[in-house]
């Protein structure tokens, strides 16, 4: 460790949170070529596993008329939660994925978000990468719940990598809904390691319409 360089190792071998935040902010500012006086918003990166969003009508069929989702645990974005309810989905070659978690609250349209490997496992070769809610023309699947079966005509997507920002954060980064950003990675604060763009450039979703992820 050269003296004077920014490093995450101190003489004590560890650092406190404020120092981490300061370093992250500094790197972000340098990356953006902004002045050092402005504080960069700290955004959170999360991943989510496969899940389903369900509409009222499909909920009625799958879990019974008037049934409600049962809260299991909160998601990062306020008001959104993983439900206790799960379903089984059946793909075109009768392969299935069981214990598919439903995320609440209910939506206007049912939608299933899968990983690429899930899609292959189910026998799909053509599940498009879409932003959440953009399901027109996507494949469907048969969904089995404890009380009934729904045949979704469409709604299977692989979720596009996207960024949620509030309007202030979007203004800071100078982006608007639908813009694309590059997301560089660095490990343990060292941007000279593992700096790469993600293969998909990230979509920006400034108004938090999706509710999770």
Q: Return residues touching Zn ion (CB under 5 A).
A: 113
Q: Is 19 helix (H, G, I), strand (E, B) or coil?
A: helix
Q: Which is nearer to Zn ion, 113 or 206 (CB)?
A: 113
Residue nearest to Zn ion (CB): 113
CB of 109 to Zn ion, least distance (A): 12
Q: Which is nearer to Zn ion, 48 or 67 (CB)?
A: 48
Number of C-beta neighbours around residue 100 at 10 A: 22
CB of 197 to Zn ion, least distance (A): 24
Backbone angles phi, psi at 208, to 5 degrees: 50, 45
Q: Which is nearer to Zn ion, 58 or 113 (CB)?
A: 113
Burial readout 36-61 (b: 16 or more C-beta within 10 A, e: otherwise): eeeebeeeeeeeeebbbbbeeebbbb
Q: Is 158 helix (H, G, I), strand (E, B) or coil?
A: strand
Q: Which is nearer to Zn ion, 50 or 175 (CB)?
A: 50
Residue 8, classified by CB atoms within 10 Å of its CB into exposed (0-12), middle (13-18) or buried (19+), is middle
CB of 53 to Zn ion, least distance (A): 6
- 147: closest CA among 89, 67, 61? 61
- 82: closest CA among 92, 91, 71? 71
CB of 42 to Zn ion, least distance (A): 23
Q: Which is nearer to Zn ion, 40 or 102 (CB)?
A: 102
Q: Which is nearer to Zn ion, 51 or 150 (CB)?
A: 51
Structure tokens at 88: 């089984």
CB of 113 to Zn ion, least distance (A): 5
């Amino acid at each position: 460790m050269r003296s004077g360089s920014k490093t995450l190792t101190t003489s004590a071998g560890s650092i406190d949170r404020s120092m981490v935040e300061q370093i992250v902010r500094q790197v972000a500012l340098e990356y953006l070529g902004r002045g050092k006086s402005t504080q960069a918003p700290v955004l959170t990166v999360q991943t989510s596993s496969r899940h389903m969003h369900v509409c009222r009508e499909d909920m009625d069929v799958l879990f019974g008329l008037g049934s409600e989702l049962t809260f299991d645990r909160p998601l990062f974005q306020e008001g959104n939660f993983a439900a206790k309810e799960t379903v089984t989905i059946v793909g075109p070659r009768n392969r299935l994925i069981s214990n598919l978690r439903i995320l609440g609250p209910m939506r206007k349209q049912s939608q299933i978000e899968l990983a690429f490997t899930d899609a292959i496992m189910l026998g799909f070769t053509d599940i498009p990468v879409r932003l959440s809610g953009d399901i027109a023309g996507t494949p469907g699947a048969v969904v089995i719940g404890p009380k009934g079966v729904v045949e979704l005509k469409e709604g299977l997507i692989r979720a596009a990598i996207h960024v949620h920002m509030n309007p202030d954060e979007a203004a800071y980064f100078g982006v608007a809904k639908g813009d694309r950003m590059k997301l560089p990675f660095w490990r343990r604060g060292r941007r000279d390691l593992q700096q790469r763009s993600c293969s998909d450039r990230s979509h920006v979703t400034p108004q938090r319409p999706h509710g999770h992820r």
